[in-house]
Chains A and B, each alone.
Chain A
């Protein structure tokens, strides 16, 4: 169990650094989502299932969704039809 916890913690640090160093905004958000998911697992291992549920719902779900929507709104989500249309005009 300790080994699993250590693995998760290392992954957490890795995710945190990768989020900052990542150049593409979309990948940064996805890494941030992974960070939240792992964080919720760690909350569960620390015997606080309430926090785990909240972290999974708010951290991995809502926050990154709002980030994605912001990116879409400022046209930074690449590869969308809408984006290409805007460029052609």
Chain B
């Protein structure tokens, strides 16, 4: 928040922001990009529709012809430029309908936000207090989970027992949604068989720090995934940490280095394999009445790594799915060699 700028009080700034005269006043806080976009809106309101990029290029050419000092696209705006910019604008722009209603949009949006905040606050006041014994959520289901969860699932961490045993189907749906999102964006956006750009982060500090930090992050991620049934954590959070570690590695070493080991094909294979393993294990256990009859992985002693029966492999599957999905999302953003 730039509250100190121009010694304007917050209230005055809000008034200026809501009123239409914001742009004309000389000492109003200027944001060149927003101003440019508003001018663009006016322009397509007054003229025909063109793309924003085309409009910016047109403006760029205009300003170059006029011989302005630094005809940059949007940053390093000199204090003298905004006035000249307006001269350029007035020559062929007229006020459109959209511009007239822009002030009303802002007031309406503030009003709607305030109403929503009010409603949410009223609802929060109705909620039972934290740790209230009479809360409707504290019924026999929660009691059973807490009292018998440890014997029935073999998990010391009751939450993992709930997520992956009693509510395993929900977690499966979650993983499927993640996988579907990743695979559809991958199908739409990624051109296959195109190597990623070998661009390393040139930053010395980042490289040195992440050299020592990266193994620890990966170790911590593995710990959170593997010990999900004993200590806080589990597949989802551990997978997110592992995915972040992969992204950091890709940023520091260059995208191509990680791509050599984890090609997008392999990442998809891992995800699909984990998802199918999860589905097979869970559908078997549901088929036999959610009691793992016949193919019971021994529950083991609670508190040890190999305990909890199905929980450890399920955690591993979820962790792999999440980590691979996060990494896939990242790879969609890196430019490929051709661009």
Do A and B pair up? The answer is yes
Instruction: List the interface of chain A (C-beta within 8 A of B).
Output: 18, 21-23, 46, 49-50, 52-54, 57-58, 61-62, 65-66, 69-70, 72-73, 76, 78, 87
Check B295 for interface membership: any CB of A closer than 8 A: no
Q: A49-B232, A54-B240 are in contact. List 20 more A-B contacts (CB 8 A).
A: A18-B1, A21-B1, A22-B1, A23-B34, A46-B130, A50-B160, A50-B232, A50-B237, A53-B224, A53-B232, A53-B233, A53-B237, A54-B237, A57-B237, A57-B244, A62-B240, A65-B247, A73-B333, A78-B75, A87-B75
The size bracket of the interface on B is: 20 to 34
Instruction: Specify the chain B residue showing the minimal Cβ separation from A63.
Output: B240
Q: Check B157–A50 contact: CB distance below 8 A.
A: yes
Q: Please report the C-alpha to C-alpha distance between residue A21 and residue B11 in the assembled complex, in whole angstroms.
A: 13
Q: Report the minimal beta-carbon distance from B245 to chain A, rounded to whole angstroms.
A: 10
Q: Check A61–B241 contact: CB distance below 8 A.
A: yes
Q: Report the minimal beta-carbon distance from A25 to chain B, rounded to whole angstroms.
A: 9
* Residue of B31, B33, B160, B241 with most partner-chain A CB within 10 A: B241
Q: Check B29–A23 contact: CB distance below 8 A.
A: yes
Q: Please report the C-alpha to C-alpha distance between residue A10 and residue B29 in the assembled complex, in whole angstroms.
A: 27
Q: Which residues of B contact A66 (CB under 8 A)?
A: 329-330, 333
Check B236 for interface membership: any CB of A closer than 8 A: yes
Q: Please report the C-alpha to C-alpha distance between residue A72 and residue B255 in the assembled complex, in whole angstroms.
A: 15
Nearest first, the 5 closest Cβ-Cβ pairs linking A and B are A49-B232, A57-B240, A69-B333, A54-B237, A53-B237
Q: Which of B75, B130, B234, B241 contacts A50 (CB 8 A)?
A: B234
Instruction: Specify the chain A residue showing the minimal Cβ separation from B31.
Output: A23
Instruction: Specify the chain A residue showing the minimal Cβ separation from B158.
Output: A50
Q: Please report the C-alpha to C-alpha distance between residue A61 and residue B245 in the assembled complex, in whole angstroms.
A: 10
Q: How many A-B residue pairs have CB under 8 A?
A: 54
Q: Return 20 A-B CB contacts under 8 Å, by A number.
A: A23-B2, A23-B31, A23-B34, A49-B232, A50-B160, A50-B233, A50-B234, A53-B232, A53-B241, A54-B236, A58-B237, A58-B240, A61-B244, A62-B243, A65-B244, A66-B333, A69-B330, A76-B33, A78-B75, A87-B72
Q: Which residues of A contact B34 (CB under 8 A)?
A: 23
The residues in B between 53 and 104 inclusive whose CB is less than 8 angstroms from any CB of A are 72-73, 75
The residues in B between 230 and 266 inclusive whose CB is less than 8 angstroms from any CB of A are 232-234, 236-237, 240-241, 243-244, 247
Instruction: List the interface of chain B (C-beta within 8 A of A).
Output: 1-2, 29, 31, 33-34, 72-73, 75, 130, 157, 159-160, 224, 232-234, 236-237, 240-241, 243-244, 247, 326, 329-330, 333
Q: Please report the C-alpha to C-alpha distance between residue A11 and residue B237 in the assembled complex, in whole angstroms.
A: 25
Q: Please report the C-alpha to C-alpha distance between residue A52 and residue B236 in the assembled complex, in whole angstroms.
A: 12
Q: Report the minimal beta-carbon distance from A77 to chain B, rounded to whole angstroms.
A: 11
Q: Please report the C-alpha to C-alpha distance between residue A41 and residue B31 in the assembled complex, in whole angstroms.
A: 34
Q: Which residues of A contact B243 (CB under 8 A)?
A: 62
Instruction: Specify the chain B residue showing the minimal Cβ separation from A20.
Output: B113
Q: Report the minimal beta-carbon distance from B319 to chain A, rounded to whole angstroms.
A: 11
Q: Report the minimal beta-carbon distance from A66 to chain B, rounded to whole angstroms.
A: 6
Q: Which residues of A contact B33 (CB under 8 A)?
A: 76
Q: Please report the C-alpha to C-alpha distance between residue A22 and residue B233 in the assembled complex, in whole angstroms.
A: 34
Instruction: Specify the chain A residue showing the minimal Cβ separation from B241.
Output: A57
Q: Please report the C-alpha to C-alpha distance between residue A18 and residue B3 in the assembled complex, in whole angstroms.
A: 10
Instruction: Specify the chain B residue showing the minimal Cβ separation from A49.
Output: B232
Q: Please report the C-alpha to C-alpha distance between residue A69 and residue B329 in the assembled complex, in whole angstroms.
A: 10
